[in-house]
Amino acid sequence: MVSIEMQAAPPAPSEWFLPVSLCWCGGRSSGPSPCSDEYFVCERCGTHVARQRLKPVHVADFYSMERYWHSRQQQKAHPTLNERREIFARDGRVALWLGAIERHAKKESPRTAVEIGCAEGSLLCRLREQGWTTFGVEPDPATAAAVHEATGLDVLGGIWPGATVPECDLFVACDVLEHALDPVAFLNAASHVLRPQGTLFLQLPLVIPGEADFGHITPKVYDPWEHSFIFTRHSIEFLLAVTGFEVIANDQAWIRAHEFVVARKQTRPARNHRLLANLAEMFSLPWRSLMDELNAFARPLGLREFSTWSKIWEYPALWYGGLDRITWRGTRMLDIGSELSPLPWWLAMKGADVTLVETSSNYVGHWEFVKRELKNTNVTWAIVSDSILPAASGSIDVVTSLSVIEHQPDKDRAVSEVVRVLKPGGLFAMSFDIAEPALGMTYPEWNGRALTRAEFEELFKKHPQLHLTYPLEWNEEDLGPFLSWHRLTASHHNYVTGAAVFQKAANQSGPFQRLRNAYSRLKAGLAG
């Protein structure tokens, strides 16, 4: 493991930094980075994360002219601000940047470029020569003023995100994103100022499969005082997908540890709900918070915890898709394929009367333990040998089924049973696997058979009593990024997952229908 020699002379007081335990995606440590024990590797996305992070209030001071551009650069044997312009003019990197930008950026004039962390302004000067309107940002106002005086460039002293910049066609951050305290906020703000189909150009160190480290400069890359995140080829794509970008080039570099990533701002369809798993929701704070709560509940009970499986999207998708609006006390619930899922027990703690359903008695001993530990929960269970559910017709308020339908040989009969046991107005909340052979997806035979989207639609056409509680729209734009992530979690995960909440055709009963009725009465009253 490589040590960081610069730690002997820290560039700032230790109280300027906070300890860190979470990645940008919400993932925790899967162990130390093989390149530095000052970093951990995220279990969820693979990013290498510094165990400390600069407090936002100290960013401008840390990256000041004297502290950063002179003392810090000399300490790391890097060129100072005044030396960079001459070096960059002759080492070829600016020409490479321009070549990559011109291959992918819009060709029509006028063109506006914004560069965050523009330093001495070498790239912006060249872009200005080629007719671009340019605007730069440096965190330290004194540095910004010095660059403006030396070059005539329009350079603002301010922190990104937060600094005010014009709308642009090109957004540049060279050797900057790894310093960002919140890369999601950084790129979301970039997307906000980029015009439709605008180009994002990044240079940053990337961990590349098959290359163990960055050679002799590894200690400079794994610098926990400056570099909050060292991304991998995959994790930078995940981050860009989360923030609304599509990678269009990720295979060029100036030299090692100075890799280029070119991305384009996506124009996404406006959707109130996404049926298929997607990284934007999965790594969002609401999804992460719910999974943290479920995992914390599950841990002392020996129930399943989820950190890298698609369940980290599925559980929140069903919860925020309708289960969160139910008054659970007294609600009768059937959970199909319960195994050691924390969800039914968690809902039982909210007052639900829960029946667990499994095809094996292997879990009964553990269920008995959990029931003793939780004491006043109304949880029973039933072991079944087929799709017949252990409940009277029209007796259940909510049926939950996570990743079960693909294991059931007679899917039509399984759904018919759900329809039978649900009360009118009751909810069926299910997650499911989707495999589209025409799109190169596969599903392991030992795991059952996943549906295609067309088969999913056809299956539920046969059961008109069940109505989706939101429009049936497939968010195809999310397929590629999710598949890239899903394949990394296990080699056979060459398929996507979905989640849907159905309501059985209702009379005036059922937990969800009662909410709708109350809302309709309120709306009518306001209209009157």
Distances (CA, A) of 188 to 24, 138, 151, 409: 13, 19, 29, 44
What was the pLDDT predicted at 510? 47
DSSP SS3 for 410 = coil
DSSP SS3 for 417 = helix
What was the pLDDT predicted at 165? 98
Strand ranges in 243-395 using DSSP code E only, listed in sequence order? 245-253, 259-265, 332-336, 353-358, 379-383
Which pair of structure tokens corresponds to residue 449? 């058979």
What was the pLDDT predicted at 219? 95
Tens of pLDDT, residue by residue, the chain (528 residues): 444 444 446 789 999 999 999 999 999 999 999 999 999 999 999 999 999 999 999 999 999 999 999 999 998 889 999 899 889 989 999 999 999 999 999 899 899 999 999 999 999 999 999 999 999 999 999 999 999 999 999 999 999 999 999 999 999 999 999 999 999 999 999 999 999 999 999 999 999 999 999 999 999 999 999 999 999 999 999 999 999 999 999 989 999 999 999 999 998 898 989 999 999 999 999 999 999 999 999 999 999 999 999 999 999 999 999 999 999 999 999 999 999 999 999 999 999 999 999 999 999 999 999 999 999 899 999 999 988 999 999 999 999 999 999 999 999 999 999 999 999 999 999 999 999 999 999 999 999 999 999 999 999 999 999 999 999 999 999 999 999 999 999 999 999 999 999 999 986 444 554 555 444 444 444 444
Distance CA 466, CA 189 (A): 41
> Phi first, then psi: what are they for 174, rounded to 5°?
-100, 120
Instruction: Give ∠ CA 443-448-454 in degrees, rounded to 5.
Output: 65
Each domain of the chain, given as residue ranges in start order, spans: 5-265, 279-523
C-beta separation of 73 from 80 below 8 A: yes
C-beta separation of 310 from 497 below 8 A: yes
> Phi first, then psi: what are they for 198, rounded to 5°?
-65, 160
What was the pLDDT predicted at 525? 47
> Phi first, then psi: what are they for 392, rounded to 5°?
-70, 155
3-state SS of the chain: helix, strand, coil percent to 5? 40, 25, 35
Rg (CA), the chain: 27
What is the architecture of the domain spanning 279-523?
A: 3-Layer(aba) Sandwich (3.40)
Distance CA 504, CA 467 (A): 6
- pTM for the model stands at 0.91
Neighbours of 97 (CB within 10 A): 22
What was the pLDDT predicted at 509? 47
DSSP assigned state of 373: H
> Phi first, then psi: what are they for 229, rounded to 5°?
-140, 135
What was the pLDDT predicted at 481? 96
DSSP H/E element including 174: strand 168-174
Which pair of structure tokens corresponds to residue 496? 């996507």
How many CA atoms lie within 13 Å of 193's alpha carbon, on the beta-carbon side? 24
DSSP SS3 for 132 = coil
Which pair of structure tokens corresponds to residue 113? 């470029």
Of 176, 185, 180, the closest CA to residue 205 belongs to 176
Distance CA 484, CA 482 (A): 5
Could you please state the CATH topology (level 3) that the domain comprising 5-265 is classified under: Rossmann fold (3.40.50)
Query: Does the fold of domain 279-523 match that of domain 5-265?
Result: yes
Which pair of structure tokens corresponds to residue 470? 């939101």
